[in-house]
Amino acid sequence: MSTQMPEVEVLTDFAVREHRSLWLDAWRRLKASRTAMLGLVVVAVFLLSAVGAHFFWNYNAKTDLDYSSKLLPPNLVSTAEKPGVHIFGTDKLGRDIFTRVVHGGWNSLRVGLVAVSISLIIGCLLGLFAGFFESFDMNLKEKLVLMCGLGLVLGLFPAWIARQWYQTLLFGGLGAASVILEKKFAHVKLRPVMFAAAGALLGGLSGLLLAPLVGLVCAVVGLLIGLLLNKPVNGKAFSSITMRVMDILLSFPSYLLAIAIVAFLGPGLEKGMIAIGVVGIPVYARLARSAVLSVSQKEYVLASQSVGEGHGRILFKHVLPNILSPIIVQATMGLASAILSAAALGFLGLGAIPPEPEWGAMLGDSYKFLSSGAWWAVLFPGLAIVFSVLGFNLLGDGLRDALDPKMRIN
């Protein structure tokens, strides 16, 4: 009896390890990585300072001016020559650089979170559906939702031209009609003409309320949308079209595309968020699609399909949880990329509008004073960018290793 007890204990311990949470294993591996923990500490300091400064440190950028203290070097003790305590010195308008760096962290954090959220939500949904419906046939309800959504998105173009936003609903209805009438008019040769004429009427009549020329432009755009909505797409066609659009977006250099979007929308921190978010959509779409394609043929997915589970349940219960690891890693590193992109736009004067503190804008305002010896005006905003980006990258590398099931701790 005594000789069998150690074997039972070993088997019990093995069973406990086998049924341990994968997320708990990931956290243990993350804690074991020094670089990952260093990145986590840097990110935590960045988040706490940015959030704390915004909510608990009142600062008015418009009144923060002191022309008598222009370009003072860093000093920890107030003297007659250097009045006031300025840990990071002052800028060309006498503003305390430490205060602006800390408060600028909130703007960088906002840009990163909003931009990554835009890229993550839109890109992952597109990639998720493209990959899933490339492997599984779409039913009538799914085609109806897809074509209605496609009509709503395409309807934004004539709606924006005519400033008649209800047009999006009209084109959404046209997309739904293409599915409902698919079998009834399947053999009608004039079906494309019918949908093109319907699109031209939906766009042109609303545009005429604004001006005849606007009505003509909207009619042409509506005609093209009608032709696109003429025939409902299947899963493979939807996946192919989505990925080709993503390839087109990826063919443009990311910074140039972001600059072009901001130039179209106008400068401003919110416009920069949108531009950076749009640029990142193809990355998440391709990542999600490839992950779904690799998971969709696994045994547990095929088994759930064989017992009659619906596509929605299969997608969100069996597929999505098993592709979260690479998406989480990409989102973490995407925050670093978004902060860097926001700084680049701010440096070019396309980001935050002065006097709003933002690290890239601070560099753009101060780099010209390097020749006069005001190194501090450039150094500290630059270090803030470097450390925040480095922290997210180190954390992303650690998460990539921690979430890899092949590296599971025994």
Last residue of a domain, one of 204, 233, 262: 233
pLDDT at 9 over 70: no
Q: How deeply is 374 buried, as exposed, middle or buried, from its count of CB atoms within 10 A (0-12, 13-18, 19+)?
A: buried
Residue 335 structural domain: 22-127+253-410
Cα-trace Rg, the chain = 28
**Residue 159 belongs to a domain:** yes
> What tens digit of pLDDT does each residue of 12-28 get?
444 444 445 667 877 88
The alpha carbon of residue 170 and the mean position of all alpha carbons in its chain are separated, in whole angstroms, by 29
Residues 312 and 206 in one domain: no
CA 331 – CA 320 distance, rounded (Å): 15
Amino acid at 365: D
Residue 321 sits in the same domain as residue 372: yes
Same domain, 204 and 273: no
Q: Does residue 264 sit in the same domain as residue 376?
A: yes
d(CA 139, CA 19): 37
Q: Which residues pair with 75 in a beta bridge?
A: 86
**Residue 341 predicted with pLDDT over 80:** yes
Tell which of 233, 265, 297 closes a domain.
Answer: 233
pLDDT at 83 over 90: no
In angstroms, the CA 375 to CA 89 distance is 10
- pTM, 2 dp: 0.81
Residues 52 and 110 both lie in one domain: yes
Closest by Cα among 319, 232, 245, 255 to 285: 245
The domain tally of the chain equals 2
Express each pLDDT in 276-320 by its tens digit.
999 999 999 999 999 999 888 888 888 888 888 888 888 888 888
Do 165 and 78 fall into the same domain?
no
Among residues 233, 268, 301, the one where a domain terminates is 233
Distance from C-alpha of 401 to C-alpha of 135, rounded to nearest angstrom: 29
* Same-domain pairing of 203 and 76: no
CA distance 92 to 69: 9
Quick one: pLDDT band at residue 188, thresholds 50, 70, 90?
Answer: low
Are residues 212 and 167 part of one domain?
yes
Would you say residue 1 lies in a domain? no
